[in-house]
C-alpha cells in the first residue's frame, strides 16, 4: 500500500508540506478557515471572550503536554484517558473541545453521548506512535497468528495511544485497552484469558511492564515488524513468545538514552531519575522512578524541598512542573529540547479560531468514530474500566 509509511514517497512529502491526507493514518492536515495571526496581541482576550460567550455549552480539555498558552483555558487538564473520562462526565456540554491529539479526541467521542460533538482545533495534531499501527497491518498480523495456530490463545492488548480502529479490533477479538498506569493489571487480566499477548502499538511499555512488573525475561518478548513478512519472525519464535510486541514507539520518549541518565548522574550524584514507561528498557532499568504522567506529577508534588530531579517525559510538562515547584531542582533528562511536535500543533491561534467558529454557529473539525468501530472499541475500554 502506498502511503505515509513508505520512505521517500510523494505522499510523505505532501504531508510534511502540510498538504494532503493519508488513508492509512489517523492524521489529516486540513484546517479550513482563516486562523488568527500568532502575533495578534488580542488572542488571549479573544479566547476569553469566546469561551465566556459559549458558557457551559463548551468544555475544554487540555492534555499535560500542551503549551501553557493553551492550558490556561482548559477546564480540566490530565492524561488522555482521564480527559476522555472527564468529557463523558459532562453530558451537559454540547461541545467538547479537545486540546490534545487525534486518538484522544476519538476516545472522547466513543465515551461521550450522541448529542455531544468532539472538536480538535487542528486536524494535523496526530500521534506518530498511533500511526505506527494501521488497521490493515494489525489484521495481517492476526492472520499470521492464525496461520501459525496461536491466535486462539492470544489476547490483544492496546495502549490508549492507538486509533479507534485498533481499539475496535482489540474489542472485537476479546482484548482490552490499557494506560501506562494500569498496564500491569491489563496484562495480568489478559494472561487470565489466554496464553499469549499481542501488545499494540508501543513496544517499550509492553516490554517494560512484562519484565519489571510481571517478572518475565526479555527472551519472552518478540518484536513484530509490520513492514516485514510474518513480522520478521519465524513461526517458532511466534509460538514460543509470551508477548508479541508491535514495532512502535513514542518519538518523544524514545529519544532518551542511557547516556542521558549517566550524564545526569555524573553532573549531579544526588539526582533522582524519573522516566515514563514509554522510554527504552535500558533507560527504565537505570532510572530511580518509573511511572505514568500522573505518577510523575504526584511524585514531584510529594518530593521534599531541595531535592533534585531529572525527568524523562515531554518538555512542556517538565517545564511547567519546574515552574510550579521552584523549591525543587527539576530538569529535563535530555540536553536536547524535545517537544511533542504534533501535540504542539494545538496553539493559541487554533484554539481561538475553533472557539470563535462555535460562537458564530459553525462547528469545526468534528471527530466522529463510526458506530461499529465505536461499539467494539467501547467493549475494550469497558473491560479496562472493570479491572480491579
Q: Which of 22, 230, 244 is nearest to 134 (CA)?
A: 22
- Kind and range of the H or E run holding 350: helix 348-359
Residue-averaged pLDDT of the chain: 89
Domain residue extents for the chain: 41-126+343-368, 130-249, 253-332
Residue 20 and residue 11: Cα distance in Å, rounded?
A: 7
Residue 202: pLDDT band with limits 50, 70, 90: very high
**Residue 32 pLDDT more than 70?**
no
Query: Is residue 364 part of an annotated ligand binding site?
Result: no
Q: Where are the alpha helices (DSSP H) in 17-90?
A: 43-54, 68-71, 80-88
**Residue 39 pLDDT more than 70?**
yes
**Residue 17 pLDDT more than 70?**
no
Place of cell 479560531: 353
Query: Is residue 180 part of an annotated ligand binding site?
Result: yes
Per-residue pLDDT tens digits for 220-258: 999 999 999 999 999 999 999 999 999 999 988 888 999
pLDDT, residue 278, reads: 95
Class of domain 130-249: alpha beta
Query: Is residue 63 part of an annotated ligand binding site?
Result: yes
Residue 200 and residue 206: Cα distance in Å, rounded?
A: 8
Query: Is residue 340 part of an annotated ligand binding site?
Result: yes
Task: Name the pTM for this structure.
Answer: 0.86
Q: In this structure, what C-alpha cell is assigned to residue 159?
A: 495502549
For residue 349, the number of C-alpha atoms closer than 13 Å in the C-beta half-sphere is: 12
Q: Which of 263, 336, 270 is nearest to 303 (CA)?
A: 270
**Residue 98 pLDDT more than 80?**
yes
**Residue 57 pLDDT more than 50?**
yes
Query: Is residue 159 part of an annotated ligand binding site?
Result: yes
Query: Is residue 292 part of an annotated ligand binding site?
Result: no
Residue 11: pLDDT band with limits 50, 70, 90: very low
pLDDT, residue 9, reads: 41
pLDDT, residue 308, reads: 98
Residue 28: pLDDT band with limits 50, 70, 90: very low
Query: Is residue 161 part of an annotated ligand binding site?
Result: yes
pLDDT, residue 314, reads: 86
Conformation bin of residue 102: beta by default, left when phi > 0, alpha when psi is -120 to 50? alpha
Query: Is residue 338 part of an annotated ligand binding site?
Result: no
pLDDT, residue 338, reads: 66
CATH number of 41-126+343-368: 3.40.50.10800
Residue 6: pLDDT band with limits 50, 70, 90: very low
Query: Is residue 277 part of an annotated ligand binding site?
Result: yes
Residue 33: pLDDT band with limits 50, 70, 90: low
Q: How many CB atoms lie within 10 A of CB 125?
A: 30
- Kind and range of the H or E run holding 186: helix 183-193
Query: Is residue 208 part of an annotated ligand binding site?
Result: no
Task: Kindly report the three-state secondary structure assignment for every residue of 95-109.
Answer: EEEEECCHHHHHHHH
CATH 3.40.50.10800, domain 253-332, yes or no: yes
**Residue 152 pLDDT more than 50?**
yes
Residue 340 and residue 363: Cα distance in Å, rounded?
A: 27
For residue 336, the number of C-alpha atoms closer than 13 Å in the C-beta half-sphere is: 10
Query: Is residue 350 part of an annotated ligand binding site?
Result: no
Amino acid at each position: 500500500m502506498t502511503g505515509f509509511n513508505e520512505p521517500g514517497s510523494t505522499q510523505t512529502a505532501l504531508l510534511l508540506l502540510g498538504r494532503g491526507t493519508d488513508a492509512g493514518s489517523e492524521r489529516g492536515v486540513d484546517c479550513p478557515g482563516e486562523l488568527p495571526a500568532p502575533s495578534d496581541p488580542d488572542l488571549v482576550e479573544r479566547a476569553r471572550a469566546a469561551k465566556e460567550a459559549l458558557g457551559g455549552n463548551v468544555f475544554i480539555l487540555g492534555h499535560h503536554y500542551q503549551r501553557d498558552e493553551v492550558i490556561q483555558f482548559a477546564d480540566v487538564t490530565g492524561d488522555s484517558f482521564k480527559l476522555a473520562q472527564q468529557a463523558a462526565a459532562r453530558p451537559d456540554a454540547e461541545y467538547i473541545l479537545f486540546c490534545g491529539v487525534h486518538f484522544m479526541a476519538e476516545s472522547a467521542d466513543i465515551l461521550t453521548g450522541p448529542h455531544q460533538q468532539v472538536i480538535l482545533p487542528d486536524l494535523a495534531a496526530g500521534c506518530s506512535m498511533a500511526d505506527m499501527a494501521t488497521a490493515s497491518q494489525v489484521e495481517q498480523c492476526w492472520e499470521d497468528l492464525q496461520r501459525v495456530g496461536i491466535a486462539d490463545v492470544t489476547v490483544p492488548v492496546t495502549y490508549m495511544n492507538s486509533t479507534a480502529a485498533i481499539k475496535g479490533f482489540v474489542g472485537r477479538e476479546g482484548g482490552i485497552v490499557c494506560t501506562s498506569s494500569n498496564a500491569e493489571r491489563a496484562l495480568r487480566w489478559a494472561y487470565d484469558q489466554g496464553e499469549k499477548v499481542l501488545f499494540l502499538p508501543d513496544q517499550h511499555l509492553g516490554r517494560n511492564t512484562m519484565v519489571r512488573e510481571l517478572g518475565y525475561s526479555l527472551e519472552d518478548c518478540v518484536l513484530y515488524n509490520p513492514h516485514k513478512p510474518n513480522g520478521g519472525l519465524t513461526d517458532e519464535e511466534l509460538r514460543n513468545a509470551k508477548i508479541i510486541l508491535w514495532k512502535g514507539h513514542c518519538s518523544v520518549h524514545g529519544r532518551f538514552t542511557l547516556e542521558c541518565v549517566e550524564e545526569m548522574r555524573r553532573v549531579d550524584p544526588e539526582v533522582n531519575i524519573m522516566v515514563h514507561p514509554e522510554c527504552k528498557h535500558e533507560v527504565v532499568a537505570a532510572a530511580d522512578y518509573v511511572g505514568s504522567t500522573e505518577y510523575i506529577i504526584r511524585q514531584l508534588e510529594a518530593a521534599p524541598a531541595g531535592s533534585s530531579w531529572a525527568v524523562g517525559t515531554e518538555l512542556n510538562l517538565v517545564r511547567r512542573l519546574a515552574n510550579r515547584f521552584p523549591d525543587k531542582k527539576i530538569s529535563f533528562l535530555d540536553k536536547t529540547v524535545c517537544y511533542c511536535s504534533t501535540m504542539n500543533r494545538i496553539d493559541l491561534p487554533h484554539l481561538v479560531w475553533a472557539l470563535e467558529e462555535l460562537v458564530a454557529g459553525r462547528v469545526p473539525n468534528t471527530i466522529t468514530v463510526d458506530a461499529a468501530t465505536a461499539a467494539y472499541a467501547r467493549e475494550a475500554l469497558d473491560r479496562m474500566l472493570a479491572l480491579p
